[in-house]
Amino acid sequence: MTSFEEHNQQCAVTLLGNLVAKPEIRYLANPVLAVTDITLATTHKWLDKKSGATKEWTSYHNIKAVGRIVESALQQANKGDVIFVQGYIANNKQQPLEIVHATAIEHFAKSYTNAINQVICSATICSNVQLITTEHNKQMATFDVTISHQVYSEHKQKLVTHQISRPVHVWGKQALYVHKNAAFDQSIIIEGKLAYANNNTRSQFLEAIQVHLLKK
């Protein structure tokens, strides 16, 4: 099995949405750093072909920000303001939450905007691929991946390795392709968006738009 330490994988998340509440900023010691946890709403709209009606789905992303970006971008932010975030997927060690850790934030005044919800990452398949046919006769492949990547921590003042696991959902023809060709421990590039299960923990998964299976 491929070791986490063999290479540094990539994980890039881009979000554009509206603040659910005004940020509550607190401070860490040694060194003194501002820190906040915010929730960002991104809304996806689409046309339902059967009814002809426009439908929408809102995702709520838990985001952690530490350091200079908090004071420069979020000191004056209020509920409903537009926030542009770049970061990576992480686990919150203080709470059982699957989060986005922000590396850059830009703040804009409250307004309507088309949301962005994008994730691109390299990963390793760590489960068997299951092919499921839904009640609407659509096919979905589901499997788990691990992502291991290093990021500099302002708080710890050193490189920190993040090792995470997430389920992946793939639909349509790509679901058939992945089910037929993917293998356990295979490297994969995923382009898609962050989605959340409809359960008590709102667990995070990757909804793939494109998948690229790579040879070792």
User: Are 12 and 104 within 8 A, CB to CB?
Assistant: no
Backbone angles phi, psi at 193, to 5 degrees: -145, 165
What is the structure's pLDDT at 216?
65
Show pLDDT as tens, one digit a residue, over the chain (216 residues): 444 445 789 999 999 999 999 999 999 988 899 999 999 999 987 777 777 788 888 999 999 999 999 999 999 999 999 999 999 999 987 777 899 999 999 999 998 888 999 999 999 999 999 999 988 889 999 999 999 999 888 888 888 888 999 999 999 999 999 999 999 999 999 999 999 998 887 899 999 999 999 986
- Joined together, the tokens standing for residue 193 give 């968006």
Quickly list DSSP for 16-61: EEEESS----EEETTTTEEEEEEEEEEEEEEE-TTT--EEEEEEEE
> Which residue intervals of the chain are DSSP H helices?
68-73, 172-181
From 3.90.1150.10, 2.40.50.140, 2.60.40.420, 2.60.120.280, which CATH number describes the 4-214 domain? 2.40.50.140
Contact by Cβ (8 Å): 62, 39: yes
Cα 74 to Cα 71, 123, 146: the distances in Å are: 6, 32, 31
Query: Is residue 167 within 8 Å of 147, Cβ to Cβ?
Result: no
Residues 124 and 4: their CA atoms lie apart, in Å, by: 9
Domain ranges of the chain: 4-214
